[in-house]
Amino acid sequence: MVRALPGATVEGLLAQRVAHAVRAAWDVSLTPAQALLRPSQVAGVDFQSNAAMGLAKRLGRPPREVAEGVAAALFADGVLEPPEVSGPGFLNLVLRPAFLAGRLAALAADPRLGVPEAERRERVVVDYSAPNAAKEMQAHHLRSTVLGDAIARLMEFLGHEVVRQNHLGDWGTQMGLLVEHAVETGGGPEPGAMTEFYRAARLRFDGDPEFADRARRRTAELQSGDPDSRRIWRSVMDASVAHLQEVYALLGVGLTPEDVRGESFYQPLLGPLVERLEAAGLAEESDGALCAFPAGFAGRDGAPVPVMLRKRDGGYTYDTTDLAAVQYRVDELKADRSYYVVGAPQQQHFATVFAVAREAGVLPADADFRQVSFGSVLGADGRMLKTRSAGGTVEMLDLLREGVRRAAAMIAERNAGRSTGEETADGIEDIARAVGIGAVKYADLSVDRERDAVFSFDRMLAMDGNTGVYLQYARARMGSVLRRGAAAGVPEGPITADALGEPAERTLALALLGLPGAVLETAETLRPHRLCRQLFEVAQAFSGFWESCPVLGAERPEVRAARLGLCGLSGRALELGLGLLGVEAPERL
Ligand code: ARG
126 membership: H or E segment, kind and range: strand 123-127
Buried b (16+ CB within 10 A) or exposed e, 517-528: bbbbbbbeebbb
Q: How far is CA 536 from CA 44, 46, 409, 442, 472, in A?
A: 21, 18, 24, 11, 11
- Measure the CA angle with vertex 584, ends 578 and 589; round to 5°: 115
167 CB near ligand 1 (under 6 Å): yes
133 ligand 1 Cβ < 6 A? no
CA of 489 to the centre of ligand 1 (A): 55
**Both ends of the chain: CA-CA distance in Å?**
38
Q: Find the radius of gyration of the CA atoms of the chain.
A: 28
Q: What angle do CA 88, 89, 92 make, to 5 degrees?
A: 120
CA of 139 to the centre of ligand 1 (A): 13
Ligand 1 atom 6: the closest Cα is on which residue? 130
Judge if the beta carbon of residue 320 lies within 6 A of ligand 1: no
Helix/strand/coil for 454? strand
Q: What one-letter code names the amino acid at 156? A: E
CA distances from 173 to 129, 182, 186, 221 (A): 20, 16, 22, 11
Which residues are registered as beta bridge partners of 125? 163, 338
Render pLDDT for 315-334 as a digit per residue (tens, 0 to 9).
899 999 999 999 999 999 99
What per-residue confidence (pLDDT) applies to 389? 46
Q: Given ligand 1 and candidates 144, 308, 346, 352, which is best to mutate, with the most ligand atoms within 8 Å of its CB?
A: 346
Residue 344 DSSP class: G
Helix (H, G, I), strand (E, B) or coil at 353: helix
Alpha helices in 137-226 (DSSP H): 139-157, 175-184, 194-207, 209-223
* Residue at 70: amino acid letter: V
Ligand 1 pocket member 127 (CB < 6 A): yes
- Check if the beta carbon of residue 547 is closer than 8 Å to that of residue 577: no
Q: What is the pLDDT, as a whole number, of residue 261?
A: 98
162 bridge partner residues = 124
Q: Whose CA is nearest to atom 3 of ligand 1?
A: 131
Q: Which CATH superfamily is domain 396-581 in?
A: Isoleucyl-tRNA Synthetase; Domain 1 (1.10.730.10)
**Res 173: pLDDT:** 74
Question: Which residue's CA is the closest to the ligand 1 atom numbered 9?
Answer: 167
Instruction: Specify the 3-state DSSP secondary structure of 162.
Output: strand
Q: What is the pLDDT of residue 559?
A: 93
Q: What does the longest C-alpha to C-alpha distance in the chain come to?
A: 85
User: For the segment 366-414, what is each residue's pLDDT rounded down to a tens digit?
Assistant: 999 999 999 998 887 777 776 554 445 557 888 899 999 999 999 988 8
Per-domain residue ranges of the chain: 10-95, 123-165+262-377, 173-253, 396-581
Choose the residue to mutate in 132, 140, 141, 167 for probing ligand 1, maximizing ligand atoms within 8 Å of C-beta: 167
What is the predicted pLDDT for the residue at 35?
A: 83
- The pairs formed by 171-174 with CB atoms below 8 angstroms and a separation of 24 or more are 171/223, 171/262, 171/263, 171/264, 171/267, 171/321, 172/132, 172/134, 172/263, 172/318, 173/216, 173/219, 174/132, 174/134, 174/135, 174/215, 174/219
Q: Report the pLDDT value the prediction gives residue 459, as an integer from 0 to 100.
A: 93
How many Cα atoms within 13 Å fall on the side-chain side of residue 81? 14
pLDDT at 138: 76
- Per-residue pLDDT at 243: 85
Residues of the chain with pLDDT under 70: 1-7, 135-136, 386-394, 417-426
What's the pLDDT at 422? Answer: 55
Contact predicate 36/67, CB 8 Å = no
Rounded Cα distance, 437 and 229, in Å: 38
How far apart CA 387 and CA 140 sit, in angstroms, is 10
- Does the complex come out with an ipTM higher than 0.95? yes
Burial of 252 (0-12, 13-18, 19+ CB in 10 A): middle
CATH topology of domain 10-95: Gyrase A; domain 2 (3.30.1360)
CA distance 182 to 174: 14
The confidence score (pLDDT) of residue 318 equals 95
Give the integer Cα–Cα distance in Å for 436 and 429.
10
Strand 307-310, strand 289-292: pairing: antiparallel
The CATH architecture that domain 123-165+262-377 belongs to is 3-Layer(aba) Sandwich (3.40)
Ligand 1 atom, smallest distance to 135 CA = 4
